[in-house]
Amino acid sequence: MEDFILMAQNPNIVSRKPGERMVKTLDGLEYAFRWCPAGTFTMGSPLKEAGRCEDEIPHEVTLTRGFWMLETPVTQAMWERVTRISASRQRDRVDPNWAMRGEGTMVPIYYVNWVECRNFCTNLSKKLSAQVTLPTEAQWEYACRAGSVSAHAGNVDKMAWHFGNSKGFATYQAGQKTPNKWGIYDMHGNVWEWCADWYGPYSEEPASDSKGPSIASCRVCRGGSWAHDPLDCRSASRLGIIPTGRSFNLGFRIVLTEPEE
């Protein structure tokens, strides 16, 4: 399969355009989301894409419902507001001797494991009276591509903090690079991002609302980071990490799904 095609279908709410912005405010802190309409795209990478891995088998995926993707990774301010745990205290959960790799209200949170991220979503759902979750792997790649079919959704140096332009030292403030066509920032680089799915091999068959295997040992992470080569920050790049794993360059972002009508 050589051609990568994203075909927008009729979203549940037809008046919305891809990338439409919605802001939720909680305790004085804004959570900006971008609309990702229902549609069909080719998930994975072409066989000749530089840097691809064998677990990126291209296959057609249809997302039958649109969703709101957080405009940036979850920031340290968002994390502390919901959990009452600062970035440095989050680090202390791992090892107080570990280095802090970037601090600030707009810097993505890191040193978070999958279980903590899921709990964050549960707590934020209650506070916002909305369904907040980690994105499925399919939702993540669909939102990352934003209709693009190349290895990155645009010029990777302009869109991503990666090892080649970050000096390999620390996480950067979210939203400083160029967003994709749907207005979403930092999908390439800065921090890896947890997804809802268990990590497993793709099927070559078309899928609808794909959610990965029912059970496995690792959860999916996407996007690459400031400590990685641009080839590791491709739209199709994927990684499996145990749910209790943490890292100085691993964070997450959230999606908000509206109730079915």
**Domain segments of the chain as ranges:** 7-257
Beta-strand relationship, 39-43 and 7-8: antiparallel
pLDDT at residue 100, rounded to an integer: 96
pLDDT, tens only, 112-158: 999 999 999 999 999 999 999 999 999 999 999 999 999 999 999 99
- What is the pLDDT at residue 259? 75
Q: Are strands 7-8 and 192-198 parallel, antiparallel or unpaired?
A: unpaired
Q: What is the pLDDT of residue 3?
A: 41
pLDDT given at position 167 = 80
pLDDT of residue 261: 54
Per the listing, tokens 């996480």 go with: 171
Torsion of CA 230, 235, 241, 246, to 10 degrees: 60
At 159 the pLDDT is: 98
Which residues make beta-bridge pairs with 68? 35, 256
Q: Which residues of the chain have pLDDT under 70?
A: 1-14, 260-261
pLDDT for residue 94: 87
- This prediction has a pTM of 0.94
Q: Please report which helix (H) or strand (E) contains residue 83, including its range.
A: helix 76-83
Compute the half-sphere exposure of residue 168: CA atoms within 13 Å on the CB side of its CA.
5
Considering the four listed CATH numbers 3.30.420.10, 3.90.1580.10, 3.40.50.920, 3.90.870.10, the one that applies to the domain covering 7-257 is 3.90.1580.10
Joined together, the tokens standing for residue 210 give 């794909």
Report the amino acid identity of residue 124. L
Which residue matches tokens 């040193």?
Answer: 111
pLDDT at 14: 54
